[in-house]
Amino acid sequence: MADYYNYLIVVLLMVIGLYIVMAQANLVKKLIGLNIFQTSVFIFYISTAKVSGGTAPIVVEGAELYSNPLPQVLILTAIVVGIATMSLALALVLRIKRAYGSVEEDVILEQDKPC
């Protein structure tokens, strides 16, 4: 059980995030769900990088075993890229609010219906 606990949690967080994206109508809430989803992927990568008994991948005297630096690099950059793209999405939400006066999906779809 403890062997797979990290991965089970990743799956849970992933579906919770996706559920928010699908089921909740508020656009800001959807983005928060997307953030949960995104973080679950980070946790997945970082979990695969961990080596039992290993230490952080910085050379120190006497350390034999290091955790894998490669997934850490990928996620490190992904976090910063993630917040940059997330802010672009937030900017679009602000523009939607300006154009439609609402960030609720059903209100926006209602307005878009051809009369």
Partner 1 sequence: MFAISTLLDISVLTLLVVVALAMVRERDLFATVMLSGIYGLLSASFFVLMDAADVAFTEAAVGAGIFPLLMLTVLTSVGRYEAGARRIRILPLVLMLALAGALFAAVVQMPPFGAVDAPSHAHVAQRYIHESPDEIGIPNMVTSVLASYRGFDTLGEVVVIFTAAVGVVVVLLGGRPKTPQQSSQALMAEHKVLRIVGKMLIPMILLFGLYVQFHGEYGPGGGFQAGVIFAVGIILYAMLFGLSNAQRVVPLGVLRWLVALGVLIYGSVGLASLLAGGEYLNYSVLASDSVTGQHIGIILIELGVGITVASAMVLIFFAFTRATRSRDELEE
Residues 11-40 that bind partner 1 (CB under 8 A): 11-20, 22-29, 31-33, 35-36, 39
Asked if 78 and 37 count as a contact pair (C-beta separation under 8 A), the reply is no
Q: Which residue, 59 or 114, is less far from partner 1 as judged by CB? A: 59
Rounded CA-CA distance 33/17 in Å is: 4
Q: Which of residues 52-81 bind partner 1 (CB under 8 A)?
A: 52-60, 65-73, 75-77, 79-81
Q: Which residue, 112 or 114, is less far from partner 1 as judged by CB? A: 112
Rounded CA-CA distance 49/27 in Å is: 34
